[in-house]
C-alpha cells in the first residue's frame, strides 16, 4: 500500500454538499456561525463519539441516542453558543434546530445531527438560528466543506480541514474531514467538533469500529489545557455513493482505517497547533512505565501542569518540573532511575542531571516544536505518546473575559 | 476559652533565637538567602511533615528519617536552590550543611534539620552555603524570627509570620511560626517551608498528633497551581522552657492544638494571598457530595482548572467552566441537580441558570475575595472547603524563565 497524501483542505466526496453562513449568533457580520453538511444518499450510515464529561450539552445527549439508529443525513452546527447548562429550554431549542433543518431538507428530524459550540450557560438565540438554517439549505454546494469548517470556529484562528483519496479495486474513494477546537482540550476527546465524510459503503457497526480506533489514536492523544468539554463530538458519515462496500473481512478495509486514522490524526495535530495562545508544539513520550496506562497517566499529568506548560512558554528548563510531576502523578516510578530527554539531548539520566551543552538545550527550547521523552525508571515496557503545547500569557488573556 | 489573637509577626518564644543573612546563593546582595532557628534547650522535641511527592529533595529524605528521633536543636535553611534532582552530590552537600551547622552550634549533626528551597536540578553552591552558616551563628538573636522568614523567600513578595500567646495555669505560652511559599502549591502540602516554635513542653509523639491535625486543616486546604513540590516541609519544635507540660489528657491541650492550627491556618492563608501573580482570593466550598473525600476531589479539580482560574483572573463568569469540571473530575454528581453560588448569589440551581443580576455578579467577580459554593446534587452529606486564587498573565511571566 502506497503512503496516503493528506491535503489541508476539505474536498467533499461525491454525494455530499455543505455550506457555512453568518446567521447572527456572533455579532461580527464577517464571521460565519452556522454550518451544514448533507448527504444526498438516503442510506447514509453514521457513527459518533462524544465527550466523557458527565455534564453534557443538550446536543450531545441527543447525539448519543441518535447514533444508535446508525443513520443520518445531515449535520447542522452553530458556533458562538454551546447550548450547554441551558436547562429544559436548551433541549427544546436543539429539537427545534433539528426539526427545522429536517423540514427544509425533506428528511426526518432523527436523521439530523445537531452540534453547538461556544459559550456555556447562555440560552441559544433562536431567531438567528432559525434564519441561519433557512440560509444554509439554499447555500449547499459540492465545494462548501471549507466554509462549513470556517463556520464552526470559536477561538480557533483558522479553519481545520483534511482530505485524502485512495483506490480500492480501481475505484477512487474520498475521505474528507473538518474540525474545530483550540481550548478546553483534554486527552479524553479534545473539546472539539469533528466530522468526516466518505463515499465508501460501510455499515454503521463497522463504521463505529473504525472510528473508535481512529479517535483513540488521534483526538484522544492531545491536550491543550486538561479541561474536557461538555460538547465534544466526532461524527463520521458514509454515503456509499462509490459503490465500494467495505467490511473488516475485505481487502480495502485496512486502507480505509488507515485513511480515517490519518485524517483524524491530521485534524488533531491542527488543533494542537492552533491551541489558544500556543507558541510551541510538544510531543511527549513516556517509556519505562509499569504499563501503557501508567505511561499515559504520567504524560497527561505532565501536559496539564501549569508550571511545566508555562516553563515551555519561555526558556525555563522545565525538565525539573516534569520530574516533580512524575513524583506526584500517582503512577509507579523509581525515583533513582528517572530520565528526561529534550529531542535527543539527555537532561537527566538515572536521576542525575546530565548537564547538557547549554547552547544545544537553548536551541531546542526556543524552537517551535520539540519532543520530550521521560523514562519512569521502573524497567517496565509501558509506553505512551501525547501531543500538547505550551501555556502562554496569551492563553490567559483569551480566557479572562 | 477566649479567642486567640494572631499577630502578623514572629516573636520567638523564650529559649529560641534566629537569624537571616545574605550568603551569596542569590546574586542580589540585598536579598537574604540563609536562615537559622535554634533552641537553647537540650531537650527540645520536634515533629515534621513532608511532601507526598515520590521525588523528594535530599533534605526531605533526611528529614523524614530524622523526625523519628523526636529531637532537634536547630533548623538551617537556604533559599535560591532546592537541592532537588541533584543526585549523590546533593546528599553530600546537605550532610555538609548539617555537619557544619552542628559543629558551629556545638550539637550533634542529627539534631539539625536542613531545608532548601528554590531552583531544582542545579548543584548547591557550597562556598556561599559554608560562608552563610558561619555568618548565621553569630547573628542569632531573640528577635531574629522575621529575618529568618525573609531569608526563606523565593518568589514570595513578602515574608510570612504569625505569633499567638495563651495562658495555661497562669503561665504564658508562646507559639510562633514562619513560612514561605507562592508557587508549586498543591493541597497535599503546599510547596512550602513552614516552621513553628513553642516554649511548651510536649513529647515528640504528642507533637506529631497535634501537627497532623493542624496541617490537614491548613496547608492541606490550599492550592495555587496543583503542583506538589519535592521540598515541602513543616516542622514544629517544642523546647519546654515555660515548664508547662502538655499532653492530650491535660486541660491546656485543646488550647495548644487550637493555637497551632490557628498559626498554621494563618500562614497558609498568607501563602494563598501571596500566590504567584494572584489578584483574587477564592474560598471554594462543596456540598451535596456523596462523601467528604469526593467533595474535596471536586474542589481540587476546580481549583486546578486552567480555564476556571484564568476566568477568575478576568470577569468571565467561570461558573460554567466549574460545571464542566464537576462533570469530568470523576466524582459522583447528579447532572440535573447541580448548583453554583458566588457569595450568596445563585448562578445555577437544579442545573438551570439562575440569571442573576449582572451588576451584583460583576461586583463579586471584580472584588479581590469571594466564595464559590458548588452543590454536586447527589443529596449526600459530603462537604469540603479549599482556598485558592486566580491564574493571571503575571503567573505565566513569573514561571517562563
* Interface A:B, Cβ pairs < 8 A: 189
Chain B nearest-CA distance from A382, in A, is 19
| C-beta of residue B397 within 8 angstroms of C-beta of residue B371 | no
Q: What is the pLDDT of residue B185?
A: 57
CA-to-CA dists, residue B267 to A40, A204, B161, B180, angstroms = 67, 60, 7, 9
Q: What pLDDT, on the 0 to 100 scale, is given for residue A397?
A: 85
CB contact (8 A) between residue A307 and residue B227: yes
Nearest chain A residue to B118 by CA: give it: A320
Q: Which residue of B has its CA nearest to A397?
A: B393
Least Cα separation, residue A217 to chain B (angstroms): 21
Distance from CA of A295 to the nearest CA of B (A): 16
Cβ–Cβ of B400/A307 closer than 8 Å? Answer: no
Specify whether the CB–CB gap between A129 and A94 falls below 8 A.
no
pLDDT tens-digit series, residues A70-101: 999 999 999 999 888 888 899 999 999 999 99
Who contacts B83 (Cβ-Cβ below 8 Å, separation ≥6)?
B57, B58, B59, B90, B93, B94, B116, B124
Residue B314 in 3-state DSSP? coil
> Least CB-CB distance to B120: which of A324, A397, A399?
A324
Q: What is the pLDDT of residues B4-24, one digit of tens each?
A: 999 999 999 999 999 999 999
pLDDT digits (tens, 9 = 90+) for B20-64: 999 999 999 999 999 999 999 999 999 999 888 888 888 898 999
Q: Do B52 and A392 touch (CB under 8 A)?
A: no
B167 bridge partner residues = B172
Q: Which chain B residues contact residue A188 at CB under 8 A?
A: 328
By the 8 A CB rule, do B113 and B48 touch?
yes
Beta bridge partners of B240: none
A400/B316 CB distance under 8 A:
yes
The shortest CB-CB distance from A184 to any of B307, B316, B400 is to: B307
Mean pLDDT (chain B, rounded)? 92
Are A340 and A325 in contact, with CB atoms under 8 Å apart?
no
Closest Cβ–Cβ partner in B321, B353, B400 for A314: B400
Catalytic residues of A: 191
Do residues A181 and A190 lie in contact, with contact meaning Cβ atoms separated by under 8 Å? Answer: yes
Contact (Cβ atoms closer than 8 angstroms) between residue A307 and residue A399:
no
* Closest alpha carbon within chain A to B230: A324
Residues in B touching A190 (Cβ below 8 Å): none
Name the residue in chain A with its Cα closest to that of B90. Answer: A352
- Residues B87 and A351: beta-carbon distance below 8 Å: yes
Average pLDDT of the segment spanning B211-236: 84
ipTM over 0.85: no
Q: What is the pLDDT of residue B212?
A: 94
What pLDDT, in 10s, does the model give residues B367-390?
A: 999 999 999 999 999 999 999 999
Average pLDDT over residues B162-174: 95
The single residue of B11, B44, B191, B392 carrying the catalytic annotation is B191
CB contact under 8 A, A54 and B333: yes
A396 with B392: Cβ contact below 8 A: yes
Phi (first) and psi of residue B292, to 5 degrees = -60, -40
A76 CB-near residues (< 8 Å, 6+ apart) = A34, A35, A36, A97, A98, A101, A112, A113, A114, A115, A133, A136
d(CA A82, CA A150): 16
**For testing contact with chain A, the best of B84, B290, B310, B326 (most A CBs within 10 A):** B310
pLDDT digits (tens, 9 = 90+) for B177-214: 999 987 665 544 446 899 999 999 999 999 999 999 99
Per-residue b or e along A217-229, where b marks 16 or more CB atoms closer than 10 Å to that residue's CB: ebbbbbbbbbbbb
Pick the residue from chain A with its C-alpha nearest to B224.
Answer: A306
Render each residue's pLDDT in chain A as its tens digit; 401 residues: 678 999 999 999 999 999 999 999 999 999 999 999 999 999 999 999 988 888 888 889 899 999 999 999 999 999 999 888 888 899 999 999 999 999 999 999 999 999 999 887 888 999 999 999 999 999 999 999 999 999 999 889 999 999 999 999 999 999 999 999 876 655 444 468 999 999 999 999 999 999 999 999 998 888 876 666 777 899 999 999 999 999 999 989 999 999 999 999 999 999 989 888 889 999 999 999 999 999 999 999 999 888 899 999 988 767 888 998 998 888 999 999 999 999 999 999 998 888 889 999 999 999 999 999 999 999 999 999 999 999 999 888 888 87
Angle at which helix A306-313 crosses helix B393-400, to 10 degrees, equals 70
Q: How far is residue B268's CA from residue B218's CA, in Å, rounded to a whole number?
A: 6
Note whether B400 contacts A226, CB cutoff 8 Å: no
- Comparing alpha-carbon positions, the chain A residue that sits nearest to B123 is A353
Partner residue opposite A52 with nearest CB, options B188, B328, B401: B328
Chain B CB contacts of A348 below 8 Å: 85, 121
Distance from CA of A395 to the nearest CA of B (A): 8
Rounded to an integer, what distance in angstroms lies between the CA atom of residue B312 and that of residue B283? Answer: 12
> CB distance A395–B119 less than 8 Å?
no
Element (H, E) at A262: helix A253-273
Q: What pLDDT is recorded for position A190?
A: 44
* Chain A residue nearest residue B225, CA to CA: A306
**CA-based nearest residue in chain A for residue B391:** A396
Identify which of A112, A144, A105, A142 has the alpha carbon closest to the alpha carbon of residue A19.
Answer: A144
CA distance A245 to chain B (A): 38
Residues of chain A neighbouring B228 (CB-CB closer than 8 A): 324, 327-328
Average pLDDT of the segment spanning B261-274 = 93
Residues of B with CB below 8 A from A183's CB? 307
Which residues lie across from B282 on neighbouring strands? Answer: B370, B388
Cβ–Cβ of A315/B395 closer than 8 Å?
no
Record: contact B314-A399, CB cut-off 8 A = yes
Contact A311, A318 (CB under 8 A): yes
**Ranges of each domain in chain B:** 16-273, 281-400
The arithmetic mean of pLDDT across residues B207-228, rounded, is: 86
Determine the average pLDDT of the residues in B254-279: 92
**Nearest Cβ partner for B225 among A306, A348, A353:** A306
pTM: 0.85
Q: What is the CATH number of domain B16-273?
A: 3.60.70.12
Q: What CA dihedral angle connects A392, A396, A399 and A400, to 10 degrees?
A: -160
State the average pLDDT over residues B91-99: 96
Residue A185 near residue A222, CB atoms below 8 Å: yes
Q: Is B357 helix (H, G, I), strand (E, B) or coil?
A: coil
Contacts of B353 in chain A (CB under 8 A): 85-87, 121-123
Q: Which residues of A touch B307 (CB under 8 A)?
A: 183-184, 225, 227, 399
Give me the torsion for CA of A180, A183, A189, A195, rounded to 10°: 0
Q: Which of A365, A307, A301, A366 is nearest to B399 (CA)?
A: A307
Q: How many CB atoms lie within 10 A of CB A52?
A: 14
> Does the distance separating the beta carbons of B54 and A333 come in below 8 Å?
yes
Residues of chain A with Cβ-Cβ distance to B313 below 8 Å are 396, 400
Name the CATH architecture for the domain at B281-400.
Roll (3.10)
CB–CB of B316 and A392 under 8 A? no
pLDDT at B186: 53
Test B353 with A120 for CB contact under 8 angstroms: no
Q: Cβ contact (<8 Å) for A396 and B399?
A: no
Amino acid at each position: 500500500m502506497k503512503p496516503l497524501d493528506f491535503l489541508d483542505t476539505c474536498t467533499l466526496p461525491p454525494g455530499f454538499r455543505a455550506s457555512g453562513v453568518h446567521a447572527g449568533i456572533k455579532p461580527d457580520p464577517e464571521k460565519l456561525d452556522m454550518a451544514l453538511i448533507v448527504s444526498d444518499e438516503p442510506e447514509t450510515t453514521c457513527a459518533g463519539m462524544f465527550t466523557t464529561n458527565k455534564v453534557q450539552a443538550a446536543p450531545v445527549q441527543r447525539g448519543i441516542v441518535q447514533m444508535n439508529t446508525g443513520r443520518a443525513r445531515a449535520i447542522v452546527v452553530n458556533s458562538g453558543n454551546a447550548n450547554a447548562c441551558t436547562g429544559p429550554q436548551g433541549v427544546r431549542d436543539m429539537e427545534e434546530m433539528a426539526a427545522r433543518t429536517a423540514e427544509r431538507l425533506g428528511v426526518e428530524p432523527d436523521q439530523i445531527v445537531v452540534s453547538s459550540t461556544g459559550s456555556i450557560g447562555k440560552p441559544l438565540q433562536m431567531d438567528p438560528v432559525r434564519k441561519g438554517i433557512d440560509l444554509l439549505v439554499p447555500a449547499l454546494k459540492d465545494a462548501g466543506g471549507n466554509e462549513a469548517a470556517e463556520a464552526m470556529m470559536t477561538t480557533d484562528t483558522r479553519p481545520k480541514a483534511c482530505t485524502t483519496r485512495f483506490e480500492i479495486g480501481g475505484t477512487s474513494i474520498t475521505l474528507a474531514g473538518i474540525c474545530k477546537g483550540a481550548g478546553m482540550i483534554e486527552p479524553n476527546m479534545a473539546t472539539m467538533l469533528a466530522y468526516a465524510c466518505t463515499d465508501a459503503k460501510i455499515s454503521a457497526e463497522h463504521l463505529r469500529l473504525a472510528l473508535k480506533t481512529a479517535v483513540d489514536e488521534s483526538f484522544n492523544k492531545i491536550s491543550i489545557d486538561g479541561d474536557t468539554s461538555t460538547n465534544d463530538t466526532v461524527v463520521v458519515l458514509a454515503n456509499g455513493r462509490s459503490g465500494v462496500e467495505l467490511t473488516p473481512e475485505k481487502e480495502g478495509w485496512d486502507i480505509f482505517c488507515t485513511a480515517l486514522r490519518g485524517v483524524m490524526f491530521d485534524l488533531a495535530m491542527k488543533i494542537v497547533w492552533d491551541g489558544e495562545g500556543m507558541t510551541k508544539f510538544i510531543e511527549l513520550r513516556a517509556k519505562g512505565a509499569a504499563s501503557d496506562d501508567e505511561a499515559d497517566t504520567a504524560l497527561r499529568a505532565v501536559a496539564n501542569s501549569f508550571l511545566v506548560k508555562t516553563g515551555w512558554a519561555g526558556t525555563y528548563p522545565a525538565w525539573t518540573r516534569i520530574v516533580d510531576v512524575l513524583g506526584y502523578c500517582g503512577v509507579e516510578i523509581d525515583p533513582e532511575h528517572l530520565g528526561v530527554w529534550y529531542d535527543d539531548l539527555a537532561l537527566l539520566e538515572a536521576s542525575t542531571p546530565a548537564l547538557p551543552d547549554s547552547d544545544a538545550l537553548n536551541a531546542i527550547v526556543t524552537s517551535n516544536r520539540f519532543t520530550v521523552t521521560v523514562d519512569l525508571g521502573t524497567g517496565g515496557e509501558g509506553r505512551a505518546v501525547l501531543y500538547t503545547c505550551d501555556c502562554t500569557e496569551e492563553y490567559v488573556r483569551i480566557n479572562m473575559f
